[in-house]
Structure 1
Amino acid sequence: MIVSFSVTPLGVGESVGEYVADAVRVVRESGLPNRTDAMFTSVEGGWDEVMDVVRRAVDVVAARAPRVSLVLKADVRAGVADGLTSKVETIERHLDAGS
């Protein structure tokens, strides 16, 4: 499965980059395939391991913020490996074919 999620600390002021970096650090240290962009972090793996990483990412932010917002989207598809790369490659192939 692939989960894309965003963790936002609330009640800590306007600048939240330091808190978000703590959450991303949890994801990167998990060893699971992952990517971070300007809005979301995506992580790929089995249900239990991915949800554990999301929970730990929320927990690390919650340890420093009075409230945490979590936005999560999941692609649950059995038998697919390396979806973080293969899904993007498929789109790029279609874009190249249309040029």
Structure 2
Amino acid sequence: MPRVNVSIQVIPRVTGDQDIYDIVDEAIGVIQQSGVKYEVGPMETTMEGEYDELMDVVKRAQEAVIAAGSERVITIVKIDYSPSGVTMEEKVGKYRQR
């Protein structure tokens, strides 16, 4: 199966004095622990891997947000798919600071 890129942005609904960043950190933690290649950005996190594996990570990230106390979560998902495969490096490698 070709490699794809999946970007997610989780938007938790929090109440009271809950810190939204702490809850978003739970979703990022799921991604970190998954073992997939990823990059955290200021607005979303992009992952690289096999489609089914990444979609499972998305599901687990949403569940982690709920488990962290969010009563609801909106998740925006972007998928870049090509039968020949897609990498983050081919898209942004030339912009990385060395």
Q: TM-score, normalised by structure 1?
A: 0.82
What SS class does the counterpart of residue 74 from structure 2 fall into?
strand
4+ aligned runs moved over 4 Å, structure 1: none
Whole-angstrom distance in 1 between the partners of 2:5 and 2:23:
23
Aligned length: 90
Per-residue CA deviations over 1:63-88 (Å, capped at 9, x if unaligned) read 2211111111110112225x111211
Identity of aligned residues (%): 33
Q: Which has the higher strand share?
A: 2
Q: Which moved more, 1:71-80 or 1:25-34?
A: 71-80
Unmatched tracts of structure 2, length 5 or more? none
Counterpart of 1:42 in structure 2 is: 46
Decide which structure has the larger Cα Rg and report it.
Answer: 1
TM-score, with length taken from structure 2: 0.83
1:9 aligned partner, one-letter code: P
Specify the SS of the correspondent of 2:46.
Answer: strand
Whole-angstrom CA distance in 2 between matches of 1:11 and 1:22: 13
Structure 1, unaligned stretches of length 5 or more? 93-99
Match of 1:30 among 28, 34, 38: 34
- Write the letter of the residue equivalent to 1:32: V
